[in-house]
Structure formats: structure tokens, C-alpha cells
Amino acid sequence: MIDLDLIKKALAEDLAGGVDITSHATISETSLSVADFVSRKSGVLAGIDIAKAVLNEVGLTDIKVLKEDGQPIAAGDVLLTVRGNTRAILLAERTALNFLGHLSGIASETAQWVTAIASTKCLVRDTRKTTPGYRQLEKYAVRMGGGTNHRMSLSDAALIKDNHIVAAGGAAKAFSAVRAAFPTAPIEIEVDTLDQLREVLPLNPDLILLDNMSPQLCAEAISIINGATKSEASGGITLENAKAYAESGVDFIAIGALTHSSSVLDIGLDLRME
């Protein structure tokens, strides 16, 4: 889960080949400090090991982790304390907070969705709508918030969508082509209407994606599927109507917003001199 190359790139991006001008001008090379990473808002923590790895990367090793990923946190909670060179702490500060706030924001958002449908058997699932280069981290954060992951990559499973159906000349042709080329791959197929559902159901897909259907249509679709395969609802789902979708009987609700629109959780660093 820890991507050292990504951490190195993030730190290098912050320095851009130079030095931290402000810290070098105002802080002694031998100055020592203690710093607390503190949550400013409540949420769910994700990325604490990434923050620790950023600190390690700049030479800081005296680190005490006080909260673990997946734990609920409240405003004012100290998440991690680091002791060491002041310049190094301030060099790592923004990169560590960027990772920590972003991932904790995803975990916190996911937890809200999970809570919204907690009384059902439906699971909250992410999509591939992730920040380029951050997919492993963002999907990890979804799991920390209580959600589950859809496929990690295009090679994990087939998802036959409307454009594939058009390009292949029909749903049955697209399905048959995938099954022939990749006989052991799981196949999910998208439908927009109940008529399309009836067309693809005899193909025995592993999962059917009910795209942009209302909760009422999803319930009708589940009745037609009648346990023959797994189902997933996607499109038009909000926190306000998530429970209605979950109660329709679908196995999953796919929420792209978990990774592409979650707000950063406000986490700060409070420095004090040794």
C-alpha cells in the first residue's frame, strides 16, 4: 500500500530541485522540535502509514502513531507525534498532510455511505474514477471507510458497457467475444432497461450493472434476475436515496464520488520547540 516512488515524487515536486527557502532562512540546521498531526474535524482515518513513510523519507524516525487507519477520529485528536529536526519536519509537513487529508476524506465519505445503507445487505463499492497514480491508495481508503473495491484494473475482469456493445454489434456478440478470449474472467454487463436485462440474463453473466435506473426499476430488475446472478446499481445515486437503492435488493451500489469528489478531511500539524 505504501508507494515510496510516489512519496519521493511528491517531496521532489515540493522542492523542485531547490531547498525550502523559508526554513533555511529562519530555522537553525540543528533545531529540534516536536510536532503533532491533529484532526481538525471528525471522520475516519486513512493514510497514517503513508504519513509515517513521508517522515521517514526525510530522515525522521522518532515517531509515535496514536490512531490507526479505519478508526473514527474526532476534532482535536492527535493522530501521530514526531520528534526531530525542525527543518525536516516542515519539509515533510505538506506532503504528509496532503496524503493524510485526501485519504481520510475518502474514508470518511465512504463511511457515510456505509452508514446510510447499514440496515441492508447491500455493499458500497468504488469505481475506477480515481486520481491517476493514486488508485491503490484511494481504493485502500475506501476499504478503511467500510466500503468494498470494484476491479483494480481493466485486466481484473470484463465490464461490458454500452460502448462495447455498440462496437461489437450487440450484447450477445460482445459477451461471447469476451468469454471466448478470456474464458475464466468474471464478466459484468451493463443494461439500461428491463428489456436489455431480459436479453443478457440468459448469457449467465457474473454480475449485471443496472445503469441509471430508479430504485423502483431496480426492484423490478431484481425480481426478473431472481437470484440468477449478482447485481449492481450505478448512476443517480445520492446519500439521500442510497437506502432506497439498497432496499431494492441490489448486491452493490457503485459510487464514483467516493474517489473523485470526496472532500479533504481537515488535518493540521502543530509544532512546538523542544
Structural domains in the chain, sorted by start: 4-105+263-273 (3.90.1170.20), 115-260 (3.20.20.70)
Q: What is the CA radius of gyration of the chain?
A: 23
Q: Which residues of the chain have a pLDDT value below 70?
A: 1
Query: Alpha-carbon distance 56 to 235, whole Å?
Result: 41
What pLDDT, on a 0 to 100 scale, did the predictor assign at position 240? 97
pLDDT of residue 40: 98
Which residues are identified as catalytic?
94, 129, 161, 190, 211
Owner of C-alpha cell 519536519: 89
| Grid cell of 6 as nine digits | 510516489
- Report the C-alpha dihedral over residues 249, 123, 72, 112, rounded to 10 degrees: -50
pLDDT at 56: 98
- Cβ-proximal residues to 195 (8 Å cutoff; 6+ apart), any chain: none
N- to C-terminal Cα distance for the chain? Answer: 33
* Phi and psi based region of residue 39 (left: phi greater than 0; alpha: psi -120 to 50; beta: remaining): beta
CA 216, distance to chain mean position in Å, is: 28
Supply φ then ψ for residue 17, to 5 degrees: 85, -5
Q: Give the position of cell 469476451.
A: 178
DSSP conformation class of 201: G
Largest CA distance in the chain: 72
Q: Which of 229, 261, 17 is nearest to 129 (CA)?
A: 261
Q: How far apart are CA 172 and CA 184, in angstroms?
A: 17
DSSP state of 154: T
pLDDT of residue 273: 82
Pick the closest to residue 158 from 203, 114, 193, 113 (CA basis): 203
Cell digits of residue 11: 517531496
